[in-house]
């Protein structure tokens, strides 16, 4: 059975969004859901992967601009 995001980890994802300048709650909800799903997908194949490392990998898929509103 693969690991699931805990309540504390979910709260960390909201804080992560705020630290990356996502202040609108509706956007935070969408991003937290996306990140949580991506992390849980990684845990299906590597259950030993830590939360922080899985988050880093998931956020890295957003590219160099991350959550930035800057369009390249």
For CA atoms 41, 46, 48, 54, give the dihedral sign. Answer: negative
| Residues lower than pLDDT 70 in the chain | 1, 63-72
In a domain, 1, yes or no: no
In a domain, 2, yes or no: no
In a domain, 40, yes or no: yes
Domain coverage including residue 25: 7-60
pLDDT tens for residues 30-44?
999 999 999 999 999
In a domain, 46, yes or no: yes
Task: Give the predicted TM-score (pTM) of the model.
Answer: 0.85
In a domain, 65, yes or no: no
Q: Which residues contact 4 (CB under 8 A, 6 or more apart)?
A: 40
């Amino acid at each position: 059975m693969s690991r699931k995001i805990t309540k504390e980890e979910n709260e960390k994802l909201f804080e992560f969004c705020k630290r990356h300048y996502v202040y609108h709650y509706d956007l935070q909800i969408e991003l937290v859901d996306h990140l949580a799903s991506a992390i849980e997908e990684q845990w299906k194949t590597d259950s030993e992967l830590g939360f922080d490392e899985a988050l880093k990998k998931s956020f890295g898929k957003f590219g160099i601009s991350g959550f930035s509103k800057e369009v390249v």
